[in-house]
Every structure is written in structure tokens, then in C-alpha cells.
Structure 1
């Protein structure tokens, strides 16, 4: 793999990590109804409030189900299980700042 290809892949992943929904972790580049400047995707937040009130455990189960349906590798599912607790909506309930 050339350096340019690796650099491009890393940049794409970095952008996706910076622009994740702060509730479900989905990169907002995949949300067709995304509102620029919002921290949340349209599936989680309607612009005024969260679409569904839930806890971190329920969101983890929801994301794991979606990833299994999309046949995501186990490593990705494990990463997202951990990553959800770091998102803005869940930091306090997970004991993070």
C-alpha cells in the first residue's frame, strides 16, 4: 500500500470520527437529512429533542443490532460498543467528563 493511499484512508477515517452523531455514533456523512452544525443525526434528534429517550445500554443494543444486520466485523462491533460511552449524550451516564 502506498503512502498516499494510506494517508487518504486515514484522513477519511479521521473526518468520520470527528463528525459522528453524538448519540448513536453514525458518521453524519451518511445521513441524508443531516442539519449542518448539529451534533446529532436525524435518526436520533429532530432538531428540538431526541426522537426516543433511552439509556446507554439500550443504544448499545440498538447499534449492535444494526451492525449485525449489516454484517459488520466483530472488531467494529466491539469498537462501537466502547465508542458509544465517549459520545456527548452518554458521557455523564458512563462516568466520563
Structure 2
């Protein structure tokens, strides 16, 4: 599993609302691990893909640009982070 980061700069409250709209546009069950963090500069989203190749393809695709634009998100700074080696979540953890 590969982890990527999307940094959206702007008003955090507006970006969080747009992020919620983006999630509502996605088919149920599409996301395996997706984390949104509010920062002083906006929001940062950490998201997984099956591989680096899938991440590179999706994050640079017209489909991704349309998804974010339709939700009202600005173009993000995109950063490929790396292969996930391990992670621990409490049993039954949800967002």
C-alpha cells in the first residue's frame, strides 16, 4: 500500500466543507485509508493507493482534477510519501 499527501491551502473551514463534499462524490468503499488533518494553512489529506504507479496515475489524472474542482477544492500540492511498512489502528476505529 502506498501513501500520498495532498496539501490544500486556504481557509480551513471552507476546505473541510469542500473535503466533505468530495467524499460524498466517491462511491462507498472506495477509500481504504484516508485521513484529513486541519492545519494553520488549510488541510492535509493522507490517502493510500495500491501502488506508487496507481498513486502517480490518479493524482495526475483529469478524473482527480475534476473531483477536487467539483467539490470546490483548490489544486493541491501533491507529494508521494512512500510504501507503508506498518500501521496500527485500535479495534473498531472509525473517523
TM-score of the alignment, normalized to the shorter chain, above 0.5: no
**If the length of structure 1 is used for normalisation, what is the TM-score?**
0.31
Q: Name which one, 1 or 2, has greater alpha-carbon Rg.
A: 1
| Structure with more relative contact order (C-alpha pairs < 8 Å, separation 6 or more) | 2
- The TM-score, its normalising length taken from structure 2, stands at 0.31
